[in-house]
Amino acid sequence: MNAYRSLALVVAALVGTAGAASAQGKCDINTGKPFQLTSARIYLNKAAAPSGKADEKPKHLANGVKVLTENGEKIDNQLGRNWLLAKLLYQWTRQDRQPLVTTRGQLG
């Protein structure tokens, strides 16, 4: 139940951020620097692409999470890191036949 509550909080934060951004104007989150964010974004795009093998998508998502969580406190762009991590975790829950509650070992 904790994982479900955490996911609900992440989604609420993303929706709240989007609503606040539209009220204030354009909000740009830099997901291009440093290199860890670029790598995670590439993994996310590979996993979200409609083409590709279904068995490779969990690997791409796990690799994206791994890039962002290994020494994550040393990444200079924490806002971009958290944004991409939330998108990776959301994409993980959208997979076919994927349970909502998962173990840390599956994601990294």
Give the chain's domain count.
1
Please tell me whether the overall predicted TM-score, pTM, comes out greater than 0.75 for this model.
Answer: no
What is the predicted pLDDT for the residue at 9? 54
47 vs 50: CA distance, rounded Å: 8
Ramachandran bin of 92, using left for φ above 0, alpha for ψ from -120 to 50, beta for the remaining angles: alpha
**74 found inside a domain:** yes
pLDDT beyond 60 at 15: no
93 — pLDDT class (breaks 50, 70, 90)? confident
Summarised one tens digit per residue, pLDDT across range 17-71 is 555 555 667 778 877 788 888 888 989 988 888 887 878 888 888 889 988 888 8
**53 found inside a domain:** yes
Domain extent, residue 51, equals 29-107
**18 found inside a domain:** no
**24 found inside a domain:** no
**11 found inside a domain:** no
**12 found inside a domain:** no
- Amino acid at position 31, single letter: T
What is the predicted pLDDT for the residue at 13? 60
**9 found inside a domain:** no
Nearest in space to 40 (alpha carbons), one of 77, 100, 106, 84: 84
What is the predicted pLDDT for the residue at 107? 61
